[in-house]
Amino acid sequence: MSARSNYSPRNRLLVVGGILGACFIVLVARAAHLQVISEEFYQQQGDARFLREIPIATSRGMITDRNGEPLAVSSPVESIWANPKELLQHPDRLPALASALNIPLDLLTRRVSERADKEFVYLKRHLNPDIAAGITELGIPGVYAQREFRRFYPHGEVMAHVLGFTNIDDIGQEGLELAFNDWLTGKEGSQRVIRDRRGRIVENVDLVEAAEPGKDLALSIDRRIQYLAYRELKAALVETGATSGSVVVLDVPTGEVLAMVNLPSYNPNSRVGADAESRRNRAVTDVVEPGSVMKTLTIAAALEAGKFTADSLVETAPGYIGLPGGYQVRDFRNYGTLTVTGILTKSSNVGAIKVSNELTAEHQYDMYTRFGLGQRSGSGFPGELAGVLPAPNRWGPTEKATISYGYGLSVTPLQLARAYAAVGNQGRLMEPTFVKGGAGEGTQVVDPAIAKQLMGMLETVIGPEGTARRAAVLGYRVAGKTGTSRKAAGGGYAAKRYAAVFVGLVPASQPRFAMAVVIHEPQGLEYGGGAVSAPVFHRVMDGALRLMDVPPDNIEQWFAAQAKAKAATPVAVAPAPPATVPAGGAP
């Protein structure tokens, strides 16, 4: 009974209560430890398992022409990727996947098993979203789709050189895509999400950084003039059997590039099959000896020196002149006594040399430099060349003479168009730009009076006596200059390889367009700038003047042509200029 007498419900209650209380205190202490003391650590661990920061994809800006027509557009595509660790647990699904992706089974197996310890491998990139949806709907474990953007160029090879292209990761590789890559590229954003064990997004928690889509870029290029130039250059190349060619059209008052075309071209929408030859933007990355088009600048120096006026007489008989070193420079034929204007009209080499003999080398060099030769034009186009213009202290008497008519230096077609645009722009040289409204102030390089005189002289080149009658545009006054240069090859000049050049301005009373045409190695009997390049100028400008609504400045010529057409029935033959080529005449 003594044991029983010891029994006290109160004591037992105390013991039980004490044990339970101790448990409670331990639990509270543990909870406090978790919640208060190590809270940060556990919070981090939890977040690390479920919270993820994922990037927000953003698209590259669109490139449009000056009228807002899209030239380069990024469109979403899906890239199929796999997690090899997951995929390899289901080898039975591989054949179905291979056939859906349209790649051989062994190639797929190899690609996945090579990266068996990794968690990511691209299976196929840039698929049409519909096809990609079909693949993900197969429900193969470890196969996912990821949105990416691909660049499309609706105008293909017409615009290829100017725009350039991007690589598979949408980064600009060439052309303006490269030059304006930072502007066009968007900034990826990021957001915080909660994901479950399988990587599915349960909830969007927060926006960490908003995505900035790439900015659009409006070019100064006019799609219609560009196409016209492309079509006509291509026709000319086919007609003359020439190997390559470039056309540059500048807006004279602003220096904006309205069109820039090169041939051969390539299709920027397909990444294979284009060789480096056809990818070059020859209008800025290739140089040519300009030939007679340089005479204009030589005459500009002559007028500025005050030793000549437009009407000064220069004796060019007997049609050839000896240079020190035994070279002999010939004219096409003996022109006898010419005025300074006549030297340009007839393109007399002898005349140009005689004029340059009266000038100092420094003044000549200074004039060429002021017109932007021998230096990059400032267009910002990647890979643009400065051309070669030797310094005057390296000129011997031979160089001084040959440079005066365009040999012994080299220029890009863009430089030529720019220099002539300055003549047409009252002596103000502009920096060419590819961006709409991106024109600078320009610099005055010659007196406006001299520029005006030069324009008058250049108009005679298109006239009945001139070398470029085929450049005429009915209803408009045209100024321009032809050039034909033999191409340098292997230390000398090749016998039958020529570059046919024409640079023109229209309408001459108040020039709107400056256009340079350079065609390499025309094969026909007629290989000169007046026969090969001037017709391209005529056809492109005929269309461009109409497209841009430029009022004719020579309506009398128009009326005369119409009166003549009425008189000569049934079929009218236009006088000097060839009749307009009907649309649809392109191959």
The stretches of 371-412 forming alpha helices (DSSP H) are: 397-404
CA dist 292 and 299 (Å) reads 11
Calculate Rg over the CA atoms of the chain: 37
Q: Which is nearer to another protein, 79 or 379 (CB)?
A: 79
Q: Minimum distance from CB of 75 to another protein (Å)?
A: 5
Using the rule CB under 8 A, is 152 a contact of another protein?
Answer: yes
Q: Which is nearer to another protein, 50 or 227 (CB)?
A: 227
Task: Tell me if 79 sits within 8 A of 148, measured CB to CB.
Answer: yes
Closest CA relative to residue 338, chosen from 361, 357, 355, 321: 355
Tokens for 16, please give them: 């039980």
Q: Which is nearer to another protein, 92 or 130 (CB)?
A: 130
Using the rule CB under 8 A, is 74 a contact of another protein?
Answer: yes
Three-class SS state of 300: helix
Encoded one letter per residue, x for contact with another protein by CB under 8 A and - for no contact, window 459-498 reads: ---------------xx-----------------------
Among 11, 35, 43, 75, binds another protein (CB under 8 A): 75
Name, in order, each residue with C-beta under 8 angstroms of 356's C-beta and a sequence gap of 6 or more: 298, 302, 364, 400, 401, 403, 404
Using the rule CB under 8 A, is 552 a contact of another protein?
Answer: yes
Using the rule CB under 8 A, is 128 a contact of another protein?
Answer: no
Burial of residue 553 (CB within 10 Å: 0-12, 13-18, 19+) is middle
Q: Which is nearer to another protein, 415 or 554 (CB)?
A: 554
Task: Tell me if 346 sits within 8 A of 311, measured CB to CB.
Answer: no
- 292 in catalytic set: yes
Q: Which stretch binds another protein (CB under 8 A): 117-125, 178-186, 387-395, 551-559?
A: 551-559
Name, in order, each residue with C-beta under 8 angstroms of 94's C-beta and a sequence gap of 6 or more: 87, 105, 108, 109, 112
CA dist 185 and 350 (Å) reads 55
**Residue in this structure with the two tokens 């408009």, named with its chain if needed:** 476
**Up-side HSE of residue 362: CA atoms within 13 Å toward CB?**
0
Using the rule CB under 8 A, is 559 a contact of another protein?
Answer: yes
Q: Minimum distance from CB of 569 to another protein (Å)?
A: 11
Residues 194-223 that bind another protein (CB under 8 A): 203-207, 223
- Burial state string for 278-287 with b = 16 or more CB within 10 A and e = fewer than 16: bbbbbbbbbb
Q: Which is nearer to another protein, 202 or 388 (CB)?
A: 202
Q: Which is nearer to another protein, 444 or 580 (CB)?
A: 580
Using the rule CB under 8 A, is 579 a contact of another protein?
Answer: yes
Tokens for 302, please give them: 């002559």
Neighbouring-strand partners of residue 201: 195
Q: Minimum distance from CB of 37 to another protein (Å)?
A: 22
Q: Which is nearer to another protein, 324 or 570 (CB)?
A: 570
Tokens for 345, please give them: 């009209």
Q: Which is nearer to another protein, 36 or 583 (CB)?
A: 583
CA dist 399 and 408 (Å) reads 7
Neighbouring-strand partners of residue 288: 411
Task: Tell me if 167 sits within 8 A of 24, measured CB to CB.
Answer: no
Q: Which stretch binds another protein (CB under 8 A): 66-74, 163-171, 253-261, 313-321?
A: 66-74
Q: Which is nearer to another protein, 425 or 557 (CB)?
A: 557
Residue 498: count other Cβ atoms within 10 Å of its Cβ: 23
Helix 361-370, helix 295-305: angle, nearest 10: 120
Handedness of CA 66, 67, 69, 73 (dihedral sign): positive
Using the rule CB under 8 A, is 76 a contact of another protein?
Answer: yes
Using the rule CB under 8 A, is 59 a contact of another protein?
Answer: yes
Q: Minimum distance from CB of 154 to another protein (Å)?
A: 4
Using the rule CB under 8 A, is 9 a contact of another protein?
Answer: no
Task: Tell me if 218 sits within 8 A of 68, measured CB to CB.
Answer: yes
Q: Which is nearer to another protein, 77 or 468 (CB)?
A: 77
Residues 231-260 that bind another protein (CB under 8 A): 231
Three-class SS state of 505: strand
Using the rule CB under 8 A, is 161 a contact of another protein?
Answer: no
Among 102, 208, 562, 563, binds another protein (CB under 8 A): 562
Q: Which stretch binds another protein (CB under 8 A): 391-399, 423-431, 476-484, 553-561?
A: 553-561
Encoded one letter per residue, x for contact with another protein by CB under 8 A and - for no contact, window 177-196 reads: --------------x-----
Tokens for 7, please give them: 């029994």
Tokens for 11, please give them: 């004591």
Q: Which stretch binds another protein (CB under 8 A): 150-158, 273-281, 415-423, 451-459?
A: 150-158
Residue 555: count other Cβ atoms within 10 Å of its Cβ: 11
Three-class SS state of 201: strand
Q: How many residues bind another protein (CB under 8 A)?
A: 42
Using the rule CB under 8 A, is 50 a contact of another protein?
Answer: no
524, 530, 536, 538: CA torsion to nearest 10: -140
Residue tagged active-site, from 246, 278, 292, 377: 292
Using the rule CB under 8 A, is 62 a contact of another protein?
Answer: yes
Using the rule CB under 8 A, is 547 a contact of another protein?
Answer: no
Encoded one letter per residue, x for contact with another protein by CB under 8 A and - for no contact, window 266-305 reads: ----------------------------------------
Q: Minimum distance from CB of 58 to another protein (Å)?
A: 9
Q: Which residues are catalytic?
A: 292
Provide the binding-site residues for another protein, judged by CB under 8 A.
59, 62, 69-71, 73-76, 152, 154-156, 158, 191, 203-207, 223-224, 227, 231, 474-475, 552, 555, 558-559, 561-562, 565, 572, 574, 579-584, 586
